[in-house]
Structure 1
Amino acid sequence: MHYVSGLKLKPELQTHPGFSRVFQPDKLTFGFIMPLVGYPDSPFPLLEDHQKMAQLADKLGFSALWMRDIPFYDPSFGDTGQVFDPMVYLGFLAAVTRNIALGTAGIVLPLREPLIVAKQAVSLDQLSHGRLILGLSSGDRPAEYPAFGADFDNRAERFREAVNLIHRVTTESFPHIDTKHYGKLKGMLNLVPSPRAGRIPTLIVGRAQQDIDWLAANSDGWIRHRGSFNQLPEIVNTWHQNRPDEYFRPYGYGTFFDLSEDANEPVRQNWGGIRAGRNALIAMWKKHESAGVNHVALNLKTLQRPTEEVLQELAEYVLPHFKND
């Protein structure tokens, strides 16, 4: 089984400002999981330069900024992510950046009211001039579910229903919808505003307790945790072979990341991420690009060096090898 190249984006996504910036067939792009700062020895990042670094990533030509959905500090996980609520933070970043795509990776859908998520998404889509990519997940922190009065055991079923509900209310006018876990719409209400491209591009982040066929049929792409790089070709092949139509659906992964000052330091993998010099990264990511990986989202929590210095080095020495023409 081999990676299928030469596929095309769905017509409505080919000119979508956010999606087409991040995802193109047979191309690899790079973005960042917020915040843009290293905090290897603390669960709490310092956010003094968060606006400046986001604007720098935009200026230097990186493709996306991704927001995690972490409502509480859970000491057993030891990471608060970008601290700010992802939808609120995206609204702020939409106002202070110009071109970089803005995504969620991902909204924990079983803990949120899907109609409110849909309203937030279409609002962000309009305010960012079409740069929003909506990544959705089922969540991996069981302690959060009791706080919301939510059932952890049926999250897979509620996730599927919520994804369908968001899709329908953002693409249909005055829909008739009867849900099991949420509400009812009887054709008397219409969600406004409408998405700029006719719908909101949607990714599934992680597995969300679903099988591959469902992921491919109900999303525009798949973002996973890094996992084993040895398994990447098989995973990407399986993903593309399970597509329900002739259109391209991208595959990407997220990873903790530390850039060595030694440009020739080989890639070192630990439980959650990678550390390497830029030359080893270029060689590795070229292999990943050939295997069909379309996007890498770098989480700088484990970063030891100053963020600005690392962004500049990646932009000068790495990005030119992965031009998205």
Structure 2
Amino acid sequence: MTARTKYQPDVRQAMAAHPGYRRLFAPGEITLGLIMPLETYAEGCMPTMRNHLATARHAEEIGIPGLWLLDIPFFDPSYGAAGQLFEPLTYMAALAMVTEKIALGTTGIVLPFRDPHLFAKQMASVDQLSGGRCLAGLSLGDRRDEYPLFGIDFDTRAERFREIFRLYRTVSEHDRPAFSSDLFGNSPGGFDMLPKPPFARTPTIAINGAGQSLDWVAREMEGIMVPISEPERLAEMVAEWRAAQPDDAFKPVSIVGFLHLEEDPDHPFERDREGFHVGSRALARFMEQAREAGVSHFAMNPRYTRRPMEEVLFELERDVLPHFPALEETD
């Protein structure tokens, strides 16, 4: 175990100071986020990525609190999704340069594929460059066929996740730490990974639990993001998460799903295999239910909506964002 050093953060203070975290999460509140790319394409697997930076700027201008980026290293035609095409941390850096306030997160980095030391440097770098607007959503990865491409054992990926996470935290949050790992090298101490996170810790969010026990996630990470469920299940889900907390610290529950935004603004919430169908005013009513249940954030992927992205943003601005704005402006 690495000894505590003067750099190791007070987690509550770090989250209270982090602009991206503050923009999305607060007790008793709920915010809205969009999963990249900001493009609707119900047919096919590939987005065009036309005008994508301008669309991200527009999303920020109308008050969208957060954008989330997928991590899909290899395109598998049988799976049918290529995400936003660009590597997420590289793309996050580009988005940070063309926006000023919007929170930028990953949903999520497939951690077993990452070297922990370089990931620590990459994540701290984009968090620094963005002024503390980045959140590290971390996932286990569920595409078995992708693991052989990296020479990694699929069946031990949960243990590998924990080891990478341990080292990521060690090198990013300690000064010149000593560490030892059977998988990722050793250091006697004296070497430092720079830069450090700008607000002492970059928030980590477990995507769909990241293949870990709820108790582990509640103890080690700053929040959890899970697939959207029926409205009547939300309060039970939040209660299970809160029961796993080791103390009374606020750690948010977020939900995620594919948005099919219907033309009728009062089209009721309906689950389907690929997410949910809903109208814009009905979406605001669902988000109020989710807030009452204790959900803190709703990340929506607009890909399958059969309407132009311009209409989606217009209706979110008109009917949803006035009720659920970003929580704080960044400095």
Aligned residue in 1 for 2:314: 312
TM-score, normalising length from structure 1? 0.95
Report the counterpart of residue 254 of structure 2 in structure 1.
252
One-letter identity of the residue aligned with 1:255:
G
Instruction: Give the match for residue 24 of structure 1.
Output: 26
Amino acid at match of 1:299: N
Which residue in 1 is equivalent to 2:180?
Answer: 178
Separation in structure 2 between the aligned mates of residue 135 and residue 208 of structure 1, nearest angstrom? 9
Q: What whole-Å deviation, never above 9, does each CA across 1:74-93 have from its counterpart, x for those lacking one?
A: 12210111111001100110
Contact 2:70 2:108 (C-alpha < 8 Å) held by counterparts: yes
2:155 to 147, 153, 156: 153
Deviations 1:244-293 (A, max 9, x none): 12210000011000211111211221012111112211211111100010
Letter in 1 for 2:122: Q
- Partner of 1:311, secondary structure, is helix
CA contact (8 A) 1:55 1:97 kept: yes
Aligned to 1:34: 36
In structure 1, the partner of 2:3 is: none
* Distance in 1, Cα, partners of 2:284 & 2:105: 25
- The answer as to whether partners of 1:37 and 1:303 remain within 8 angstroms in 2 is no
In the TM superposition, 1:170-209 aligns within 5 A as 170-209=172-211
Q: 5+ residue gaps in structure 2?
A: 1-10
Give the Cα–Cα distance (whole angstroms) in 2 for the partners of residues 316 and 228 of structure 1. 25
Q: Given residue 112 of structure 2, which amino acid in structure 1 is its aligned partner?
A: P
Q: Distance in 1 between matches of 2:323 and 2:32?
A: 12
Partner SS, residue 146 of structure 1: helix
The residue that corresponds to 1:294 in the other structure is 296
The structure 2 residue matched to 1:243, chosen from 242, 245, 256, is 245
CA distance in 2, matches of 1:126, 1:208: 25
Cα distance in 2 for residues equivalent to 1:52 and 1:247? 37
CA-atom RMSD, angstroms?
1.3
Deviations 1:107-166 (A, max 9, x none): 101011111111100100111011010111110111110001011111000101111111
Q: Establish whether residue 285 from structure 1 lines up as the match of residue 299 from structure 2.
A: no
Partners of 2:245 and 2:217 lie apart in 1 by 9
How far residue 322 of structure 1 moved from its aligned partner, in angstroms, is 2.1
- Could you tell me which residue of structure 1 aligns to residue 144 of structure 2? 142
Choose the corresponding residue for 1:214, options 216, 223, 234.
216
Q: What is residue 131 of structure 1 aligned with on the other side?
A: 133
SS in 1 for 2:277: strand
CA offset digits 1:31-90 (Å, max 9, x no partner): 111000011111101111211110011111111111111011112210111111001100
Shift of 1:304: 1.1
2:4 is matched with: none
Q: SS in structure 2 opposite 1:266?
A: coil
Residue range with higher mean Cα deviation, 175-184 or 86-95:
175-184
Q: In structure 2, the residue corresponding to 1:193 is in which secondary structure?
A: coil
Task: Give 1:72's match in structure 2, choosing from 69, 74, 89.
Answer: 74
Equivalent residue of 2:276, what SS?
strand
Deviations 1:210-253 (A, max 9, x none): 11000100100001122444322111111012111221000001
User: Who is 1:225 aligned against?
Assistant: 227
Relative distance call for 1:10 and 1:61 in structure 2 (3 A) is same
SS of equivalent to 2:321: helix
- For 1:121, the equivalent position in structure 2 comes to 123
Structure 1 counterpart of 2:15? 13
SS of equivalent to 1:129: coil
Whichever residue aligns with residue 243 of structure 1, its letter is Q
Which one of the candidate residues 265, 269, 275 is aligned to 2:277?
A: 275
Matched residue of 2:267: which SS?
Answer: coil
Q: Which one-letter code corresponds to 2:270 in the other structure?
A: R
TM-aligned CA deviation for residue 168 of structure 1: 1.4
Q: Aligned AA for 2:156? A: N
- Structure 2 counterpart of 1:295, which letter? H
- What TM-score results when the alignment is normalised by the length of structure 2? 0.93
Task: Tell me, in whole angstroms, the C-alpha distance in 2 between the residues paired with 1:227 and 1:151.
Answer: 31
Work out the CA distance in 2 between the residues paired with 1:199 and 1:279: 37
Aligned residue for 1:32, secondary structure, equals: strand
Number of aligned pairs?
Answer: 317
Contact 1:170 1:200 in 2 (8 A): no
Q: Does 1:106 align with 2:108?
A: yes
